[in-house]
Structure 1
Amino acid sequence: MSANQATRIDVNKIPLDEMDVSDPVLFQNDTIGEYFRRLRAEDPVNYCAKSPNGPYWSVTKFNDIVRVDTDHKTFSSDSANGGIVLGGLGNPEREFGSMGGLEMFIAMDPPKHDLQRKVVSPVVAPANLEALEPIIRERAGAILDSLPIGEEFDWVDKVSIELTTMTLATLFDFPWEERRKLTRWSDVVTSTPGNGVESWDQWKQELMECGMYFKDLWDQRVGGEQKHDLIS
C-alpha cells in the first residue's frame, strides 16, 4: 500500500464533522489535498465545530466560493462580524481584522472597503509601477548578486523572503535598513501562541508597534513631496 493510499484511507475514516482543514500540519506534509477532495465530494460546505482556531466553515467548491466572495451582505468581511480569518468571531483576545483596534480595509465591507481601496489603487497602477521599476530591478539584482557560490544557503530566507520584503519596502518607501520589520509583522498577523508568538499579549503588542510605526511614517509625509509610494 502506497503512502498516498494510506493517507486516503485515513481521511475517509474521519467523521465529516471532525474534518479540520485548518491544521497547518496537513499543508506541511502535503496531505491537505485528500481532505479537500473528500469535502468537495461529500460535504462541500462543511462546519468544523471544534478546532484550535475555533469553529469555522469550509467552502470547497468553485461556484460556492464565488458566491461567498461576491455576496458581502450575506458573507461579511467586516471585523465587527468576525473579520476575515479563523479565530475572529467571539475571540476578544485576537480582535482579528482590527489589529488590536487599528482597522484594516481588507476587513471591511462595501462601500467603506471600496472607498479605502480606491485610495491605494493608483499606487499599483501600471504607470506607477513603471516608475518604480528601476529601483525594484536594482534591488532584485543586488539580492541575486549577493548569493554565495559553491555553498549551500537558505533560498527561502535569502531570496523568497528578501525579494518579497524588498518589494514591499519599495512600495511603502519603508526605511531600507529596517525592512525585515515588515517580514516579522506579516508573520505575526497569522501567528497564535506557541506558533510565532508566546502569548496574545505579545501578538497585540507587536501589531500595535506595527500600527504606530506606520502612523509615524504617515505623519512624517503629510504635506510633503508627492512620491510614488503607498504612504505618500
Structure 2
Amino acid sequence: MSDGAVDLKAEARARAYSIPLDDINVADPELFKTDSHWPYFERLRKEDPVHFHPPEHHEQGSFWSVTKYNDIMAVDTNHGVFSSEPAITLFDPEDDFTLPMFIAMDQPKHDVQRKTVSPIVSPQNLHLMEPLIRSRIQNTLDDLPIGQPFDWVDRVSIELTTQMLATLFDFPFEDRRKLTFWSDVATADKTSKHFKTDDPDTERKMYLFECVDYFTRLWNERVNAEPKGDLISMLAHGEATRNMDRMEYLGNLILLIVGGNDTTRNSMTGSVYAMNKFPDQFAKLKANPDLIPSMVSETIRWQTPLAHMRRTALQDIELGGKTIRKGDKVVMWYVSGNRDDEVIENPDAFIIDRERPRQHLSFGFGIHRCVGNRLAELQLKILWEEILQRFPEIQVVEEPQRVYSSFVKGYESMQVVIPSRL
C-alpha cells in the first residue's frame, strides 16, 4: 500500500471515530467509491450493531443497519417476519415503474418462480457447462497483452461474465455487451457515466424498456418452440412464469442479469486485487493449487460483491436490544458481517487456507440464498486454474476505480500488467 493510501485510510478511520454516532451514514455511496467504509462499520459493530438511521440519511427515508454476522443471519433466515417485498435495496419501487422479481417476493410465489429457473444451475448442468466455461476462459487469457497495461475489469471480468450470461439466456452472442450495459444501468447511481441527460430516471426507464423489448422478441420465438434449457425458454414454458406481464418479465430479467453479472464480475477482479495486496497468499496458491476452491470462497467473503440486502419488518420485533417496528426498513450489511471478528478470525486479512472458508454471508441465507452461487464459484475456480498455468504474476499498477454504490461493491476499472508468460 502506498503512503497516500495509508494516509487516506488513517484519515477515514479518524473521521469514523470522531463524528457523533448518529451522524454515521453507511449508505453513503461515496464511502464505497473511496473504499473508506470499513472503519464506520467497525465502529457500528462495536458500539451500535443494530443502528437506526434518521430520514435525512437517505432520500427514501429512515432505516436500520444490521452490522454483525449473527444478527444478519437472524434477519436473513426469518422470512416470516422480515419480508423481501417490495424491494431488496433501500429504494422502493415507483408507482408507475414497479418491477416484480422473485428475489423481492415472499412465499409462496417466490419459491415457484425460483424453481422455474434453478435447473439451469443444477450440479448436472454445471458439469455439462464446464468445458465451455474453460475454453472461453482459455481464449480470453490467451488474448491478453504481455508487458502492456490493460483494464482487467473490461478485458477479463466483464467479458467472461457477459459470455456466460449470453449462454444462460441463449442470447445473440454478438449483442452480449448489451447485457453488461443493462446490468449497469439497472443498478447505477443517477450520477453514473451511463446517463447522458439531466433526467437519469427517465433515461434509465428508456434503457430498461429497450431491454424488455429485446427479450420479448426472444420470448416470442421460444414460447412457440419446443422447451429448451436456456433461461428464456424456462420462463416462457414455466407454469409459474409463462403468464407474467411485461413488467414482471423485466423485473426477473434484471434480477437474473444483475445476479449473473455483478457477483462474479467483481469477485474476478477482487481476486486479482487481493493477490496483489497479500502476495504471501499468491505464493501459497502457486505452491499448492489445490487451495483454489478455498481461495475462491475466501475471495467471495473478502470482496463481498453485493454490500447489502434490505428487508421490511412485518411486525414489531426486538433485535440486538432494539425494537424494530412494523414497516421499518432493515438493511443487512453483508460487507460488515463478513468482517465481524467475533465470528471470523482476522477478518480483514485475505487468507486462502482458512479452516472454514465457506463461512461468509456474501450469498445470503434462507430462502433467498443466491441461486447461482455454485456457478459463480465454478467460474472463479476455472479462471484461477488457467491463470496459474499461464502467468507468474499479474501486477495491479494503480488503485482500482470503484463503483459509486452502497449496493454493488465493485470495480469500474483496474489497470494491470502481466510481465510474462510461463
Distance 2:69 2:58 in 1: 26
When the two structures are aligned, how many residues end up with a matched partner?
Answer: 221
Distance 2:69 2:147 in 1: 45
Match of 2:168 among 167, 171, 179: 171
1:192 and 2:194 matched: no
1:224 and 2:225 matched: yes
**What residue number does 1:30 align with?**
35
Find the residue that maps to 1:67 and give its secondary structure: helix
Match of 1:104 among 101, 109, 122: 101
Query: Cα deviation per residue 1:140-192 (whole Å; 9 max; x = unaligned)?
Result: 22222222233221111000111111111111111101111111111111123
Distance 2:171 2:90 in 1: 29
Match of 1:45 among 46, 50, 54: 50
1:137, distance to aligned residue in structure 2 (A): 2.3
- Correspondence list, 1:81-92, <5 A: 83-88=87-92, 92=94
Residues 156 and 53 from structure 1, CA distance in 2 versus in 1: closer, same or farther, beyond 3 angstroms? farther
- Correspondence list, 1:49-128, <5 A: 49=54, 50-55=56-61, 56-79=63-86, 83-88=87-92, 92=94, 100-128=97-125
Q: Is the 8 A contact 1:47 1:58 kept in 2?
A: yes
Distance 2:190 2:32 in 1: 19
Find the residue that maps to 2:229 and give its secondary structure: coil
Find the residue that maps to 1:166 and give its secondary structure: helix
- Correspondence list, 1:199-214, <5 A: 199-214=200-215
Distance 1:102 1:33 in 2: 32
Amino-acid identity (%): 52
**What residue number does 2:341 align with?**
none
Distance 1:185 1:27 in 2: 22
Query: Cα deviation per residue 1:41-68 (whole Å; 9 max; x = unaligned)?
Result: 1111112222354333211011211121
1:7 and 2:12 matched: yes
Distance 2:21 2:108 in 1: 37
Find the residue that maps to 1:207 and give its secondary structure: helix
Q: Is the 8 A contact 1:12 1:38 kept in 2?
A: yes
Find the residue that maps to 2:51 and give its secondary structure: strand
Distance 1:74 1:168 in 2: 34
Residues 171 and 40 from structure 1, CA distance in 2 versus in 1: closer, same or farther, beyond 3 angstroms? same
**What residue number does 2:21 align with?**
16
Q: Is the 8 A contact 1:17 1:48 kept in 2?
A: yes
Query: Cα deviation per residue 1:186-216 (whole Å; 9 max; x = unaligned)?
Result: 1111123222434111111112222222222
Report the residue type matching 1:188 in the other structure: V
Q: CA RMSD in A?
A: 2.0
1:158 and 2:172 matched: no
Which sections of structure 1, spanning at least 5 residues, go unmatched? none
Distance 1:9 1:139 in 2: 46
Q: Which has the higher strand share?
A: 2
Report the residue type matching 1:138 in the other structure: S
**What residue number does 2:364 align with?**
none
Report the residue type matching 1:178 in the other structure: D
Distance 1:202 1:193 in 2: 10
1:130, distance to aligned residue in structure 2 (A): 2.0
**TM-score in terms of structure 1 length:** 0.86
1:145 and 2:178 matched: no
Find the residue that maps to 1:71 and give its secondary structure: coil
Distance 1:179 1:211 in 2: 15
Which sections of structure 2, spanning at least 5 residues, go unmatched? 1-5, 234-422
**Using CA pairs below 8 Å that are at least 6 residues apart, which structure has the higher relative contact order?**
2
1:9, distance to aligned residue in structure 2 (A): 2.3
Report the residue type matching 1:84 in the other structure: I
Q: Is the 8 A contact 1:192 1:200 kept in 2?
A: no
Query: Cα deviation per residue 1:52-99 (whole Å; 9 max; x = unaligned)?
Result: 5433321101121112112223221112xxx111221xx637x7xxxx
